[in-house]
Amino acid sequence: MALIVQKYGGTSVGDINRIRNVARRVAKTRQEGNDVVVALSAMSGETDRLIQLAHQAWDTPDLREYDALISTGEQITVALLALTLQSLGVPSKSFLGNQVRILTDSAFSKARIRKIEVRTLRQALKKGVVPVVAGFQGVDKEGNITTLGRGGSDTTGVALAAALKADVCEIYTDVEGVFTTDPNICPKARKMDAISYDEMLELASLGAKVLEIRSVEFAKKYGVVIHVRSSFNDNPGTLVMKEDKDMESVLVSGISYSKDEAKISVIGVPDKPGVASQLFSPLSLANITVDMIIQNVSQGGHTDLTFTVPKSDFKKALSLVEGVAGKIGATGVDSDDHISKISIVGVGMRSHSGIASKMFQVLADEGINIQMISTSEIKVSCVVDAKYTELAVRVLHEAFELAKKDVKMESSF
């Protein structure tokens, strides 16, 4: 008998029929002799609707009230699933974040889980009751409701699995697993049988929203095996797990894209110590994360500095940078929010050269100009004009032969 945590995403609980489908799946897993704990998202579109409402009330909503509002979508789905399970004769009980006690810090709208008290859930399981836990929400030590950031119910699922020492965390979504790239923009994308935590972390942080990045961090830290699969059929999905020998020999395993960043360039910055710090300190004080940074070679004692920030922080970042640019003696500020970051990811890159140059060549052959580049041990990212996103993903997918299974080192140049 296994203990299984099942997390269902927004599409899987999008209406009452789909909730019934989830209930049947939960009941079946239980009939097969397993204990099940369920974590749910809100119905698809609901969190967006609540966010819009908050902004209609106030442009810059107070984040405590914002979280109190946007966490409510999950309260609806957990109660509906518990009711549906009961109607099928399966004892079930819904739990909100504060009822389980999913303790978080107080960083409203992007809170981090500090601890999960599993006693109540264990008691429910012992009585044969299926606990249905609201994803995405927690409670801080003052008792305030917090939320974990968009896509955060993946993190609830994996964190519950870690705290309960579950055998597996199944993430049910609207695609059949983790693909070599987003199957909704590249029809040739192939479902992977397994992917390492490190590769999944890179893909998630570079835009593949199939798993939220913190959920993968949790899984890696606590060794939780994640099974990403569809709630609409019984096909096996993708296992996210510790790297094994077979995975190492795969050169490029996936391609991500993100249109969620914007680019800011500070022109004619005096090339002297302390300037970068003066420029980036106000951004860090404002909690704005800077991603890619490039600094040109100095010419005549001046240089240009270009970096990217999340699009949601773009306006704020630009005004902060414009404020400081004059003070540090820069000649101007340029910006562009129509950019896209395309990334190739694979643990095989660690031991193989030529991958980055192949990526550059493939983009050049399509006349796609590369504006910025960054690399790590297992990824290469290029910023390009947003209008080339789909094209870039497709040609790279073709060039690295990702539609074929098990393309090993030999086949690269």
Q: Give the residue, chosen from 80, 82, 210, 288, that forms a contact with ligand ADP under the rule CB under 6 A.
A: 210
3-state secondary structure 78-144: HHHHHHHHHHCCCCEEEECHHHHCEEECCCCCCCCEEEECCHHHHHHHHCCCEEEEECCEEECCCCC
Calpha distance 253→199 (Å, rounded): 8
Report in angstroms how near the CB of residue 116 gets to ligand ASP at its nearest. 17
Does 392 help bind ligand ADP (rule: CB under 6 A)? no
Based on its alpha-carbon atoms, the radius of gyration of the chain, rounded to whole angstroms, reads 23
| C-beta of residue 348 within 8 angstroms of C-beta of residue 252 | yes
Count of residues in contact with ligand ASP, rule CB under 6 A: 13
Positive or negative, the CA dihedral 52, 55, 56, 62 is: positive
Report in angstroms how near the CB of residue 41 gets to Mg ion at its nearest. 7
Does 340 help bind ligand ASP (rule: CB under 6 A)? no
Does 340 help bind ligand ADP (rule: CB under 6 A)? no
Provide the greatest CA pair distance for the chain. Answer: 78
Report in angstroms how near the CB of residue 160 gets to Mg ion at its nearest. 16
* Residues in region 138-157 near Mg ion by CB under 5 A: 151
Report in angstroms how near the CB of residue 29 gets to ligand ADP at its nearest. 18
The pair phi, psi for residue 148, each rounded to 5°, is -100, 5
Q: How many CB atoms are located within 10 Å of the residue 104 CB?
A: 24
Partner whose footprint covers residue 92, from ligand ADP, ligand ASP, Mg ion, none (CB < 5 to 8 Å by kind) = none
The residue number whose beta carbon is nearest to ligand ADP equals 9
Nearer residue to ligand ADP within complex by CB, 61 or 73: 73
Does 9 help bind ligand ADP (rule: CB under 6 A)? yes
Nearer residue to Mg ion within complex by CB, 61 or 151: 151
DSSP conformation letters of 302-334: EEEEEEEEEGGGHHHHHHHHHHHHHHTT--EEE
Three-state secondary-structure class, residue 213: helix
Partner whose footprint covers residue 71, from ligand ASP, Mg ion, ligand ADP, none (CB < 5 to 8 Å by kind) = none
Calpha distance 322→325 (Å, rounded): 5
Report in angstroms how near the CB of residue 70 gets to ligand ASP at its nearest. 8
Does 381 help bind ligand ADP (rule: CB under 6 A)? no
Does 202 help bind ligand ADP (rule: CB under 6 A)? no
Does 152 help bind ligand ADP (rule: CB under 6 A)? no
| CA distance between the termini of the chain | 48
Q: Which residues are near ligand ADP by CB under 6 A? A: 9-11, 41, 151, 173-175, 178-179, 181-184, 203, 208-210, 254
Q: Which residues are near ligand ASP by CB under 6 A? A: 9-10, 41-42, 47, 73, 135-136, 150-154
Q: Which residues are near Mg ion by CB under 5 A? A: 151
